[in-house]
Homo-oligomer: A and B are copies of this chain.
């Protein structure tokens, strides 16, 4: 049984803040600062270039990949860390397309994170006019999975509403039509149990700075199913994905398995912070995390609906149909969110009217939810959001 009081104690959570935005950027693991400090002074500082071998920097992308793999149903040796999520989306879609020659359409939905659509669009424009990115409503994805489709590219959990796709059913349907799947786990990894192997997923990608708490700009990850690992051609064929990077051959030969999805020199300092976060994840069982996540989101929905009737639930009501966030619609949601932030309740806002609240059992508990709802209720019932200073739009990530 996961000890959530113990995991909560391992995060730095500022006094007076109820942080319900771990779905955007997870908080600082207390151990991260010391771990990074040590890496800087004792590894980079003392070992200099030899740190790549002596300190194990070169192996971090696959070491961290394996640790993330445990949370997403991926066997050791099938996940590697590196680059940004957008780059990994490009790499996965480019590889998947080539494994399905003759088909020219990538299918996605308009609930996908825009950058996934932008990256696929950029790739397909490079490949030529015969390629098409087809974007449909999330509810219409299944009916659009035809034998015309080369690649199905979906984000499992919608970044705005938390609506969850049925990964197993859609993957099965895709395979029945000869379609290769690319799943974006940005709002899944560390949020809900994922079973990539059990779903027979082909490719998956995700980021580590949201639920995984790797820090701002933490690297992304990519999963390649064993059946494709030695045949997928990485379009982004960098030297660290080469079979023998330090032979400095002029010709590219892809490395074995997941290693070929490495590209350039990995970000050691970011990976060190991520490793501190994964130390906490090593204490957690995803089924426990999911059970508590459901309890927290159910509590939040019930309490908010009881006291804030003007807010309309934008997330699916059935817990099984959503990730680990809850969104409410309100025309002045932007101002409400600013009023909440001013009171220490940190969620975020997505245009035109969605207030998002992320629930992260590693450091959020029932008392936090109750206090957050009390503040939200005060703001709503007394229209405390209706002030000019809360209506000035600022860029928010």
User: Cβ of B45 and Cβ of A246 under 8 Å apart?
Assistant: no
For the complex formed, measure the closest distance between the CB of A354 and the CB atoms of chain B, giving whole angstroms: 10
User: Cβ of B36 and Cβ of A19 under 8 Å apart?
Assistant: no
Chain B contacts of A48 at CB under 8 A? Answer: 14, 17, 19, 21, 25, 27, 346
Chain B contacts of A348 at CB under 8 A? Answer: 49
CA distance A346 to B51 in the complex (A): 13
Could you say which interface size class chain A belongs to?
A: 35 or more
Q: With A90-B236, A250-B135 in contact, is A265–B84 under 8 Å at CB?
A: yes
User: Cβ of A85 and Cβ of B264 under 8 Å apart?
Assistant: yes
> Does residue A206 face the partner (Cβ distance < 8 Å to B)?
no
Question: In this complex, which of A114, A235, A396 has the most chain B Cβ atoms within 10 angstroms of its Cβ?
Answer: A114
User: Cβ of B36 and Cβ of A49 under 8 Å apart?
Assistant: no
Query: CB within 8 Å of B: which of A35-79?
Result: 36-37, 40-41, 44-46, 48-53, 57-58
User: Cβ of A119 and Cβ of B267 under 8 Å apart?
Assistant: no
> Does residue A249 face the partner (Cβ distance < 8 Å to B)?
yes
Chain B contacts of A265 at CB under 8 A? Answer: 84-85, 207, 209, 216-217
Chain B contacts of A381 at CB under 8 A? Answer: none
Q: How many copies does the complex hold?
A: 2
Chain B contacts of A57 at CB under 8 A? Answer: 216-217
CA distance A225 to B204 in the complex (A): 36
Chain B contacts of A394 at CB under 8 A? Answer: 53
Task: For A122, give the chain B residue with the smallest CB separation.
Answer: B237
User: Cβ of A267 and Cβ of B122 under 8 Å apart?
Assistant: no
User: Cβ of A215 and Cβ of B85 under 8 Å apart?
Assistant: no
Q: A36-B269, A49-B348 are in contact. List 15 more A-B contacts (CB 8 A).
A: A28-B40, A28-B41, A53-B394, A83-B84, A85-B264, A86-B239, A87-B264, A115-B238, A118-B239, A125-B235, A127-B127, A215-B269, A267-B267, A267-B269, A270-B270
